[in-house]
Structure 1
Amino acid sequence: MLLRKLARDSVIYGGGDFLLKLLAFFTFPLLASALSAEGFGVMELGLTIATLGAVFVRCGLNNAVQRYYWDAGVSEVERPVLVSTGFWLTFGIGVVCGVCSFFTVPLIFKASSGGAEQLAPMGVLAIAALLPLLQWSQYLQDVLRLHFAPWKFLAYTFSSRALGALVALFLVLYFGAGVEGVLLAQASVLLLALPLGIWFVKKDFVVKVDRPLAGRLLAFGAPFIFTEVAYWLLASIDRWVLAAMAGVSEVGIYSVAFRFSTLAVFVATAFGMAWSPYAVKIRADHPQSYKHVYAEVLLILLVVMLCVAGFIALFAGEFIGQIMSPDYAAAAIPLTVLCFTAVLQASQQVTAIGISLANRTKIFAGLVWVAAILNLVLNFWLIPQAGAAGAAIATLISYVFLSGAFLFFTQRLYPLPISWARLLWLCFLGAVILFSSIHWSSQEFDLSTSAVKLCIALVCLVFALLSLNFKIFRSL
């Protein structure tokens, strides 16, 4: 059954992502204590440069290959050419960006508050290598998802990412390696693991580049550069405005709320990794019914996300009160609001699908930039009135706009047979949970208040489940 496979893959991807985050959580304080604060800052700046540079190396080619891999117009014989063309394009762009970064990274450090002398030439070389290696690794991981091979995906992810973190930690703790040692260890492990990733995808790997296909992939993928930069602005602008208008303490409160809300984002990410290859394959295998499947998956996804985000939101105050110091009590309301932002983020896995299928990726870039500008304007308006809560509300409104705009264009380009009555009903139930979470927000666990919130949650869950229809999946 499709839903069972989708749920299984989501659990596998989500479990792997969780373990990677857990590893990062435990290695972070050890690295931070072994390195000086100055050295740790240099390392973080280097990794940030490598991560941001990967956006340009990626050039949306991952998205393009995922879009066409299971397309009805691409035969099984053509898929290796498709994957290999995308890989070699990424490889070439990565080499060029890596060489350029070797010369520009020292300039970036000079412009920063640190200084070029804080990073030795070997550290600069490591960053220049990390920049393409991170993306080559990600490209192979995305191909493994297209193969519906979650266990191979996990094996390659741990051998390239987790092992790199552990080797870096070992070198720092036992050999006193500095920032350069950490960066070189991660780059070396990624390089050594690259043949394993290629071997895992060997059925789709050939030494060939199809020039017309390369142009097609670049035309589809290039707009994603502007989209990803806009998403970066959308995700970070609130902290800068908070710092400027409300002070660093409000940034701390908002950051705590954001960290807790990632529990809901984690579920959305796991689903997204599992769903994207299925979405294109369903369209190729079931051309008569795939739109009905998309419409029902949207509703099911909303129910699942409302369960996860709704539970966190209802008990946000209690979570903050028990885990954090009283200084962070004000993070409860921002956390409640940001949980529902995660629901909207998850819905974009389906609401934006028509834009992707229609190859209108420029629409993504335009809409995300509008959302980023809207978020900036709302932050300037709401933060003086409500601080961190105002920033959270601005983010929620921006995502309401973005998800709604995605759905609008999907309905224009690839209209889905959505049951608007059921969709609005789920939105109403979500609003009930949101306002209940704010109204009964409490820093202490109170039995009567908790019972009321649980009753509201259960009633909403029953009404939400009654709105779902699983019949369409039985025929797949």
Structure 2
Amino acid sequence: MSALQRLFKQTVVYGLATVLPRMLNFFLVPLYTTPGVLTSVAEYGKISVIFSWFVIFNVILAYGMETAFFRFFNKEKDQEAVVGTSVISLGISSFVFFALALLFQNQIAIITDIKVEYIKLVIWILLLDALVIIPFAWLRAKEQSMKYAYIKIINVVINLGLNLFFLLWLPKHSGAHFLSEQLYRPNFEINYIFISNLVSSGITLMLLASFYLKISYKFKAELWRRMLQYAFPVLIAGIAFSINETFDRILLSKMLPENIADTQIGMYSACYKLALFMTLFATAYRLGIEPFFFSHAKTVNPQKNYAYILEFFVTIGSLILLGVVVFADILKLIVIRSEEYWEAMSIVPIILLAYLFLGMYHNLSVWYKITDRTKFGAYISIFGAVVTLVLNFWLIPIISYKGSAIATLAAYGSMVVLSYYFGRKYYPIPYNIKKISAYILISLLLSLLSFYVFRANYVVGVAFLLVFMGIIYKFEKQTILSLLKR
């Protein structure tokens, strides 16, 4: 159980590094959805589409090297060569992209249907974000989780602060001060949002600059080829994953009638944010388990610990699913400040369950990562992307963004099934499928009853939560007490 305790502590720290910044970032949603800050719901929809392209290009610029770094850092004797080779590779590719993107910015604007003035800011942000991939990975590999945490928190505090300054303070004081007179421009809200992002990304790189000063720039071509060979399937999987994650906004913008597309995307994206609690937990958990997978691969019977890990994730994830659904109508008042967005609330249970499945998939992916069969990760993610695309093309014309939510759930659910199926063949892990399935089914049943039968009836909702927590405590008492001992 000591390995599980260690993972629990790592997840808590990475949770702070992920949850606290995202919770600060969470305030951007009520900021953007407050009447008068953005000109309309459609403006929020445009921002959401641009951030969707962000996700896709971030994956391309990383091209699987972060995962390859973890694998080879724990596998190779010459760790300095792994660090140097990774840094040089990503540095060269990032600056080549930067130069080409600036050169062809007009063509990119036409393809993506995004204004050139936004494209320029996005290109700079993508470069800065690419240059911190290996420094952050190095902190995780060295288990310097506290430093990782405070840099992440500083990044979002700056981003949030600048958003508040540009979108709230500046318009109210335009012309009253020399500073506001120089900085304020009407109808410049989207630019201000990306300028805030750019500044925070630049400061993050500055905070990590010491990494670049103290590493050894050793480049081994043979090592680089092996890392690329390992990373390529991860890149394909990443692109496929980004399609599952964000491509629905892009498809909605292309497939819905032009006069309603941005508004529909704005409502969908805002209500999607209510799944943030599950997303935060799944992300923090992934950050904790990825180094754990590799570092424990050579221990005695690691499969037992991997099985415990999935049970722990599903237990907490199922509780989060029910908790968010029960209090969804309270959360929407806090997070989504305008009633214009609430029409899309029906997607909340669907997206929550989808992200529970995604977190399970990250847990189940251990088998192909530690056996160097990353091509299976690509195959599974591609299958998920195909499911996403097919269902979006089929359902968007019929039920709009609800079809996108269903497609997301179907994609992640199918990926869980495929990963479990192939994992049993190549790296059997004794998962307690009966217990895992029972927790998910009980949580889902209570969630559906709460959302569709007893909506906003908090006496019943809280009773459901207490019953489920009692079930968890009965079957997980020893594990819970063990984790809380220290």
TM-score range with shorter-chain normalisation? 0.7 to 0.9
Q: Over the residues paired in the alignment, what is the CA RMSD in angstroms?
A: 4.0
Aligned residue type for 1:281: S
| Most deviating of 351-360 and 366-375 | 366-375
* 1:399 is aligned to 2:399: no
Distance 1:242 1:460 in 2: 41
**C-alpha separation in 1, matches of 2:371 and 2:264:** 42
Deviation at 1:141, TM superposition (A): 0.8
Q: How far apart, CA to CA, are the structure 2 residues paired with 1:168 and 1:294? A: 41
Match of 1:57 in 2: 61
Task: Check conservation: 1:314, 1:437, Cα contact below 8 A.
Answer: yes
Distance in 2 (alpha carbons) for counterparts of 1:327 and 1:127: 28
Say which SS state the counterpart of residue 107 (structure 1) adopts: helix
- On the 8 A contact 2:321/2:352 being kept in 1, the answer is yes
Q: CA deviation at 1:320?
A: 4.2
Alignment of 1:196 onto 2:196: no
Pair 1:458 & 2:459 matched: no
Q: Take 1:429 and 1:343, find their aligned partners in 2: how far apart are those partners? A: 14
Amino acid at match of 2:210: L
After TM superposition, the structure 1 = structure 2 runs for residues 202-281 of structure 1, keeping only pairs within 5 Å, are: 202=214, 205-239=215-249, 244=255, 248=261, 251-281=265-295
Contact 2:314–2:360 (CA under 8 A) maintained in structure 1: yes
- Per the alignment, residue 13 of structure 1 pairs with 14
In structure 1, what is the Cα distance between the partners aligned to 2:74 and 2:164?
A: 40
Quick one: structure 1 residues 45 and 465, their matched pair in 2 at CA, closer, same or farther if it must change by over 3 Å? closer
Contact 1:141 1:156 in 2 (8 A): no
Partner of 2:104: 104
Q: 1:259: Cα distance to partner?
A: 0.8
Preserved CA contact (<8 Å) 2:45 2:266: no
Deviation at 1:351, TM superposition (A): 0.6
Over 3 Å counting, the alpha-carbon distance change for 1:106 and 1:245 in structure 2 is closer
Could you tell me whether the CA contact under 8 Å between 1:156 and 1:196 is conserved in 2? no
Please say if 1:426 is aligned against 2:436. Answer: no
CA contact 1:137–1:197 (8 Å) conserved in 2? no
1:176 equivalent in alignment to 2:180? no
Q: Is the 8 A contact 2:52 2:250 kept in 1?
A: no
> Residues 59-113 of structure 1, C-alpha deviation per residue, up to 9 Å, x if partnerless?
1110101123223xx33xx122212211111111112112212212233235565
Alignment of 1:408-419 (within 5 A): 408-419=421-432
Partner of 1:341: 354
Q: Classify 1:49/1:105 alpha carbon distance in 2 versus 1 (closer, same or farther; 3 Å).
A: farther
Aligned residue for 1:80?
80
- CA–CA separation in structure 1 for the residues paired with 2:46 and 2:462: 49
Asked if the contact 1:433–1:456 (Cα under 8 Å) also holds between the matched residues in 2, the reply is no
Q: 1:316 to 1:181 in 2, by over 3 A?
A: closer
In the alignment, the residues of structure 2 paired with residue 397 and residue 333 of structure 1 have an alpha-carbon distance, to the nearest angstrom, of 16
**Equivalent residue in structure 1 for 2:125, among 120, 125, 130:** 130
- C-alpha distance in 1, partners of 2:106/2:88? 28
Question: Does the CA-based 8 Å contact 1:224-1:364 persist in structure 2?
Answer: yes
Pairwise CA distance, 1:50: 6.0
* Residue pair 1:94, 1:132 contacting (<8 A) in 2 also: yes
Distance 2:240 2:428 in 1: 26
1:152 is aligned to 2:151: no
- Report the alpha carbon displacement of residue 337 of structure 1 after superposing the two structures with TM: 2.1
> Residues 88 and 460 from structure 1, CA distance in 2 versus in 1: closer, same or farther, beyond 3 angstroms?
same
- Label 1:379 to 1:339 Cα distance change in 2 as closer, same or farther (>3 A): same
Deviation at 1:147, TM superposition (A): 0.8
Does the 8 A contact of 2:74 with 2:295 survive in 1?
Answer: yes
- Residue 139 of structure 1 aligns with which residue? 134
Given that 2:350 and 2:406 are in contact with CA atoms closer than 8 Å, whether structure 1 keeps it comes out as yes
Q: After superposition, give the CA deviation of every residue in 1:162-206 in whole Å (9 maximum; x if it has no partner).
A: 54775787799535177496576456434533423446xx4xx21
CA 1:237–1:110: 2 relative to 1, 3 Å = closer
Give the whole-Å Cα distance in 2 for the aligned partners of 1:345 and 1:384.
26
Mean Cα deviation higher: 305-314 or 181-190:
181-190
Per-residue deviation, 1:345: 1.1
SS of 2:126's equivalent in the other structure is helix
Q: CA deviation at 1:339?
A: 1.3
Tell me which moved more, 50-59 or 392-401.
50-59
How many residues are aligned here?
A: 456
**Counterpart-to-counterpart distance in 1, 2:146 and 2:267:** 38
Give the share of equivalent positions with the same residue, in percent: 18
3-state secondary structure, aligned to 1:224: helix
Residue 440 in structure 1 maps to residue 439 in structure 2: no
Runs (5+) with no aligned partner, structure 2: 171-178, 186-190
Q: Is the contact made by 1:311 and 1:457 (CA closer than 8 Å) also made in structure 2?
A: no
Question: Where do 5+ consecutive residues of structure 1 fail to align?
Answer: none
Distance 1:112 1:339, change over 3 A: closer
Distance across 2 between alignment mates of 1:408 and 1:250: 37
CA contact (8 A) 1:129 1:187 kept: no
Q: Distance in 2 between matches of 1:446 and 1:156?
A: 38
- Residue 300 of structure 1 and its aligned partner are, at CA, apart by 1.2
CA distance in 2, matches of 1:15, 1:338: 23
> Could you say if the C-alpha distance between residues 187 and 255 of structure 1 is closer, same or farther in structure 2, counting changes exceeding 3 Å?
closer
Residue in structure 2 matched with residue 306 of structure 1 by the alignment: 318
Conserved 8 A contact 1:242-1:388: yes
Distance 1:299 1:140, change over 3 A: same
Per-residue CA deviation, residues 92-135 of structure 1 (Å, 9 max, x unaligned), is 1112112212212233235565654x47xxx84x6544333211
CA contact (8 A) 1:314 1:433 kept: no
Residue 153 of structure 1, CA deviation: 0.9
Deviation at 1:157, TM superposition (A): 3.1
Residues 380 and 183 (structure 1), Cα distance of their counterparts in 2 relative to 1, 3 Å cut? closer
